[in-house]
Structures are given as C-alpha cells and as structure tokens.
Structure 1
Amino acid sequence: MASRREFLQKAGLSTLAISLPLANSFGKTNEIKNDQVLRVAIMGLGSYGTRVAEAMKDCKRAKLVGVISGTRSKVEAWQQKYGIPAKNCYNYENFDQIKDNPDIDAVYVITPNSLHKPYSIRVAKAGKHVICEKPMALNAVEGKEMVDACKAAGVHLLIGYRMHFEAKTLEVVKRQREGAFGKTLFFQGLSGFSIGDPTQWRLNRELAGGGSMMDIGIYSVNGSRYMLDEEPIWVTAQEVKTDPVKFKEGVDETITFQMGFPSGAVASCLSTYSLNNLDKFFLNGTKGFAEMQPSTGYGPIKAWTNQGPIEAEHITHQTTQMDEMAAIILDGKKPIIPVDGEEGLKDMVIVDAIYKAAKIGEKVMLG
C-alpha cells in the first residue's frame, strides 16, 4: 500500500508538466518504412501491463524497450526479465525526461483510470505517441482534453481497444457491413464478472471514476457501436446495488442500459461486478444473426451466425493489437474499426449519459 500512496502523491505533480520540444510528428512517422519497429515503454507494471509485455514478445512490429513505475523493485525485475536498459527506466516524477530519449517512440499508459489523462498529456508534451488503456478518461471532458493535447503535440493518441483487431470480431463486423444479416435492428451486450478484493483500486471511486461501467461495461458500449455501425442518439439506464458496503457511493455494481440508433435499431446491455458468465454479444437482423460468447475475454473468442460457426486462428489479442497499432503510427494504416482518441471520446460521452440517465431516471439525448 505504501507504493500506491506514493503513486497517488506523485500523480499530483502531473498537472505541472510544461510544453516540451516534439520528438515525432505525423508527417515523419508516415514516411517510415514498414519494416521499422515501434519502440514502446509501458507505464504501470501491474497485471495487465505484464500481460501486454508478455504478448509483445511475439510482436513483429512493436518492441518493449522501456518502463515507467513508482515501484523500484518492479522496474528492476522487468529490467532483468525483458532486457531493458537502465537509461529507458523512469518513475512517475521524472518520466518527462523521455523527451530526450530517442530510443522510445510511444508510451502505453496502463495506470488506474484517474491517471490516464494527466499522464497521457505529459507523455504527449514529451513528444511521444500515446497508447492509453480504456476507458481513456474519467469522463468526456477529460477525454477531450487528451485529444486536444495530443493534437497540439503532433502525436498519435490510441486507445487500447484490443477487440478492434480480433479476427472473429472483425469477421462479424465485415458481414454486418456487407448486409449478410439484413437490416440489423437489435444488439445485446452482457458484460460482467464477480469482482474480488474489495480494497482494489477498481472499487475506489477516486481511482476508477465509477465501478463496473468504467471497467467491463464499456465493452458493451463500444461493441454496440461497431456491431451496429451507428452512433446512438439516446440512452436510458437503471442502476441496481445489492452490496452497498462493497460498492460504495459512486461505485456502480450493476447498470442495465439501453440505447437507440438513427436506423431504429436498439441495444439492450448489462454491466455488472456481481455475476460471471456474462461475456456475450448478440446481433440480430432481418436476414440473420451473429452471436459471440465469450465476446471480449482474452480468448479464444467463440462466434457463430445463422450460417454456422466462424473459424479463425486465435492469436493473443495484445500481440495483434500492438502490431496493428505500430502499423497505424508508423505506416499511417487505417484500421477497420478506429482506435484513436476520438473513438475513445465517443464512448466517454455515452458513459457520461448512462450515468446521468441512471441518476435522473429519464432518457438522455445524445448529440
């Protein structure tokens, strides 16, 4: 717990970051040959940061070259395990110095949600590309600040939407866009699991910005948009809390929410920290359907349609994600489903509306 307190104390310094010379620009990165590797530093060496690091061992276009952490023992362990040079190791107080390190191209921010904005902006001001884990921020206002800061710095802002590159997901999206299911009119997204340790940061409002919606529920928000290929125009929502001790004020346990789309399609979704076996997407149209379960877990993903199962090789999601993000940054590649800051901001606008709708008990219009 001492390291976490130090972590949060140091976070307060983040807003004091000053503008620094740029090390990269969109123009330069788009000129790079497609055999170049994106050199990445991971910020936040917890369980998910470790998962990304392990996945990057198999990347062809991305390489782990640096670390940023407030815990010296973790830095030392990663140095030894991944062969990271001392000059590429930073803490939360001094990582602005990466501006002077030509061996780091991008930083993947994998910290508690409340630190995504301040640390991403500091990375951008240091002239490095930003990859930020989802949700990109605590709310849409913060998300817009991140987008604006990265644009001003001339660096990419990408959000860690690994499912946007997953083969079976992309096949369902392709078929939907080709009209294989007819006019798609309904999406169901069930996102949840039974969360454990009540003292973890995900159940701390100051760190997480909420509860299940900010962690697992955003998959259904995001999934409804790319599965229906539309942006919602209204939301309604209802919150249920069965354990007010574990899920304190401002930390949502379960939220059911609905969204309406311009075509007339509707989405019905569930976000919860109290139930397992809920990782499911269902898309229904006038000519067919697609179903995925599990739909967003680490895999393998299982998917089928009215025509039968969808088959594709399972590749570790984070491996594919980092290679594809390298292609976006280095080659200017345009992904089928966007992963840029604007994409993350759209989700934050919807999440804000869901929380508002649950609070006031009324439909909230978007746009």
Structure 2
Amino acid sequence: MAVAGAAAAWTPRGLAQDRRIGVALVGLGYYAAELLAPALQLTRHCRLAGLVSGTPAKLGEWQRKYGIADANLYSYDDFHRIADNDEIDVVYIATPNHVHRSLAEIAARAGKHVWCEKPMAMDAAEGEAMIKACRDNRVQLAVGYRMQHEPNTRRFMAMAKERPFGRIVKLRADAGWFGWRDGADDAWRLDPARGGGAMYDMGVYCINAARYCTGMEPLAVQAWDETARRELFKGVDETMRFRLEFPEDIVAECVTSFGRNLNTLQVDCERGWYTMSPFQGYDGNRGRASDGTVFEPQLGKLPRMQAEQMDNDAQSIIAGTAPRVPGEEGLRDLRVVDAAFASAKADGKRVEIARG
C-alpha cells in the first residue's frame, strides 16, 4: 500500500550498498528495551548507533550494555545536535504519542530519516505536518506497522486483490489486552493529553487490518465508547467498538480494548472465509481458510518481526526506494481515528471519513 512516487521526494546521501544503517532509538521504554534494541542485534542492514532519552540513568545503563559512544547520547533538549552526527542515519521514535510530531520534525530538519511507532501522531493534522517536514527535508518517513512485514499478513494483503473466495462480504477485527505493565513507562496510556487509551494503542491494528484486507479506504465510521471502569480510565477509552463502511457494501466490525484479551481477524467472502488469530502478536501469528489452507507462523520468535521490519526499511533507504509503510499509510489510519472519536462523542453517529 505504498504511495506511488513517495521515493522521489528525497535522494540517498551516498550510502554504500553494504553499509549498515545507523539507528538512534528515541524513547527508551519497554518497546525499545525489550524489542527494538534486541531486534537491532539480529538485523543484517542496521546497527544501534545512538540513544535519546529524558532520563540520564537510562542513557548510562544502555550505553554500558550496548557500547554506545558518548557523542551518540542525547537528551530531548539537545536532540537537534544529531544533525552533526554522521554515524546516525535514522531515528526510531518509540515515545508516547503526543511527542511524535515534534521529534519527527526535529529529526527531519537534522537530515535524518524517520521511523515512527504507531499511531503516527495524535491526529491527521499532525500526521500531515510530519509528512511535509520529511518531504521538505528530503528524508524518508516510515511507520512502524510491523504486521505489514509479517509473511501471513502479506498473504492476506495479496488475497484482497486475488479474492480466492469471491467478493468480500464482511470483516471482523478485534485487538485488545487486559491490563498493562506496571511502571512509569506506561502511565501515559491513561493520559488523554499524551495519546492514551485503547483506540490509539490497539484500535489502529483493527483499522489497518480492515484496510489491507480489503485493499480499500473506508468511507464512514460509527463508534461507541464502552468503557466500563470509568474510575480508572478517566478521559481515555478502555473499550471502543466501531463499524467501518467500505465500498461494495463491505462492513468491518471492530473492537479494541484494554479490558479484554482480543486478537482475531476474520474475512468472510461469498464462497468461503479466512482468519488469523493471533493476527497482531509479536510472534506466533497463524491462520486458516475454509478450503483447508493453514497459515503457519514463519518469522520465528520475537523479536524477529521487528528485525524484519527494520531491515526492510533500511534497505529502502540504501536503495532509494519508497518504504513499505510510508507516512501516508499512517495518515490514512489517523483520519479514521479522528472520525471514530467524533462518532463516539456523538453516541455512534455516522461520521464520514476525510479523504486526502
């Protein structure tokens, strides 16, 4: 689902074909510590070259563990100095959602390519600003939709065009988990100002899956905030149910939640069906189809998926081609998120989704 012509907005900066891309991790919370940093040790085309954090103790601990040079350590206050560091080619933003835009813009102005975790930003307007900043500074912007680098998901994406069971009739996509890890790194998930709540965190998996399984853009959405524990989830959604309307009268029924363990994708067609469960796990994603086809996990144990994602994105930088999941892909999901929040505030009123 890459955007045609996306690679034309920038030029490779003399990167040798055999060079490993230097990556600076921005935000040293759980995802960076437990998945991204270990995954970088498995990549063929990347290396961990820099660290950015607002916590000096974390920088020191990580520096000792991974042997990062003093010159490649940054706080958020001096992050702009990364422009002078030729060892760093890419920044991978893995912070709370509310600072994705500002960090991406600083990185772009510094001439560094940007990899950004999902959701790309707080809303579509911020996503558009990030795309513009990267385009204006001739750097790539890729969104960390790891599932689009996973083989079974890639097969489901191809089936949207092949239609082996005829026309798609409806979809179901459910993504949720009960509770979260304790500690300050995840406190922001309860804070609306920082992009907390299930829709931002898990709902984008449902939206993205509905889009890549149909190969279409949704026309409208209805959404209902079904938060049960209001005393805990103050100002953010614990559970959101939403319905996406697609062309050809296709409907996607979706649920995302911090109160239920959910991880299923189902595509129903005229002459059969195919499903994946789990469909957005860090590993073990498996599926089956009505004709007896079985989709066994192919990438191996975590963090192989994150390594595959970063290697693919690094290769696009080296080759000067568009990334598999460019910023425009994240923007399309943000337009759906914006409309879903508007619908939920209006008790499920049908809201048309903005078009680019």
TM-score, normalising length from structure 2? 0.91
Report the equivalent of 1:79: 63
Query: One-letter code of the match for 2:87?
Result: D
Alignment equivalent of 1:319, drawn from 307, 318, 328: 307
* 1:290 corresponding residue in structure 2: 274
Say which of 71, 79, 94 aligns to 1:95: 79
2:349 counterpart of 1:365: no
Q: Equivalent of 2:319, from 306, 331, 342?
A: 331
* Structure-2 residue corresponding to 1:143: 127
The alignment-based identity, stated in percent, is: 37
Contact persistence 2:273–2:289 (CA under 8 A): yes
Number of residues of Structure 1 aligned to a counterpart in Structure 2: 337
Is the Cα contact below 8 Å between 2:50 and 2:73 reproduced in 1? yes
Measure, in 2, the Cα distance between the counterparts of 1:284 and 1:334. Answer: 32
Query: Which residue of structure 1 aligns with residue 165 of structure 2?
Result: 181
Aligned-residue RMSD, C-alpha: 1.6
Q: 2:251 aligns with which of 258, 266, 280?
A: 266
CA contact (8 A) 2:176 2:263 kept: yes
After TM superposition, give the deviation of residue 60 of structure 1 in Å: 0.3
Contact 1:198–1:246 under 8 Å retained in 2? no
**Residue in structure 2 matched with residue 169 of structure 1 by the alignment:** 153
CA contact (8 A) 1:33 1:331 kept: no
| Cα displacement (A) at 1:98 | 0.8
Cα gap change, 1:123/1:44 in structure 2, threshold over 3 Å: closer, same or farther?
same
Question: Equivalent of 1:206, from 186, 189, 193?
Answer: 193
Encode CA deviations 1:294-343: one digit per residue, 9 max, x unaligned.
110111111111232113522421010000010122213456xx411111
- Does 2:238 correspond to 1:253? yes
Q: Which runs of 5+ in 1 are unaligned?
A: 1-24
> Which residue in the other structure is 1:160 paired with?
144
Are 1:226 and 2:212 an aligned pair?
A: yes
Cα deviations by residue, 1:213-271 (Å, 9 ceiling, x for unpaired): 0001110011100011100011111111211110102x011111001111221100001
Q: What SS does structure 2 have at the residue aligned with 1:172?
A: helix
Q: Give a deviation string over 1:82-139, Cα, whole Å, max 9, x none.
A: 1211111111111111111111001001111111111111111111011111111111
Partners in 2 of 1:198 and 1:217 — Cα distance? Answer: 23
Contact residue 83 and residue 110 of structure 2 kept, 8 A: yes
Deviations 1:173-213 (A, max 9, x none): 223322212111211100111124597110111112x4100
The Cα shift of 1:32 comes to: 4.0
Give runs of ≥4 in structure 1 deviating > 4 Å: none
Describe the superposition over 1:264-307 as per-residue Cα deviations: whole angstroms up to 9, x where unpaired: 2110000111111x111011112322111111011111111123
For 1:345 and 1:205, the matched residues in 2 are separated by: 20
| Alpha-carbon distance between aligned partners in 2 of 1:238 and 1:259, rounded to the nearest angstrom | 12
Q: Is the 8 A contact 2:98 2:193 kept in 1?
A: yes
